[in-house]
Copies of this chain bind each other. A is one copy, B any other.
Amino acid sequence: MAVNQSNFTAGIDVGGTKTFVCIADSQGTPVLKKKFPTLKGTDPDVFFGWLFTEMHGMLSKEGLQTEELSGIGMGFPGVILNETGILTNAPAFSWPATDIRPIIRKYYDGPVYLDNDVNMAARGEHWKGAAQGKRHVLMITIGTGIGSALIMNGDLYEGADGASGEIGNWVLEASYPSHISRKAGEEFGPFENVTSGTSIGVFARKYFCFGERVSSIMDMAGGRVDRIEPLHVLKAASEGDQSALWIMESPLNHMAMGIANAVSLLNPQLVVLGGGVAGSSSFYVNEVRRRASKLTPLPLHIEQAELGNEAGAFGAIAAVRAKMSSDLDSRGSHSR
Binding site for B on A (CB under 8 A): 135-136, 148, 150, 152-153, 155, 157-178, 181-182, 189, 249, 253, 257, 260-262, 264-269, 291, 294-299
The complex places the Cα of A152 from the Cα of B266 at a distance, in Å, of: 11
The complex places the Cα of A168 from the Cα of B265 at a distance, in Å, of: 9
The complex places the Cα of A262 from the Cα of B150 at a distance, in Å, of: 13
- Inter-chain contact B173/A172, CB cutoff 8 Å: yes
- Inter-chain contact B174/A265, CB cutoff 8 Å: no
The complex places the Cα of A295 from the Cα of B214 at a distance, in Å, of: 40
The residues of B that contact A266 with a CB separation of less than 8 Å are: 150, 157, 159, 164
The complex places the Cα of A150 from the Cα of B160 at a distance, in Å, of: 13
The complex places the Cα of A174 from the Cα of B250 at a distance, in Å, of: 9
- Inter-chain contact A135/B157, CB cutoff 8 Å: no
For A296, the closest partner residue in chain B by CB is: B169
- Inter-chain contact A298/B161, CB cutoff 8 Å: yes
For A258, the closest partner residue in chain B by CB is: B261
The complex places the Cα of A260 from the Cα of B171 at a distance, in Å, of: 8
- Inter-chain contact B298/A267, CB cutoff 8 Å: no
- Inter-chain contact B170/A298, CB cutoff 8 Å: no
Within the complex, the shortest CB–CB distance from A24 to chain B, in Å, comes to: 28
Contacts beyond the supplied A163-B299, A165-B265: 19 A-B pairs with Cβ under 8 Å: A135-B160, A159-B266, A160-B267, A160-B269, A164-B267, A166-B296, A166-B297, A167-B265, A168-B264, A169-B260, A169-B261, A169-B264, A169-B296, A169-B298, A170-B264, A171-B257, A172-B261, A173-B257, A265-B265
- Inter-chain contact B171/A173, CB cutoff 8 Å: no
The complex places the Cα of A323 from the Cα of B171 at a distance, in Å, of: 39
For A163, the closest partner residue in chain B by CB is: B267
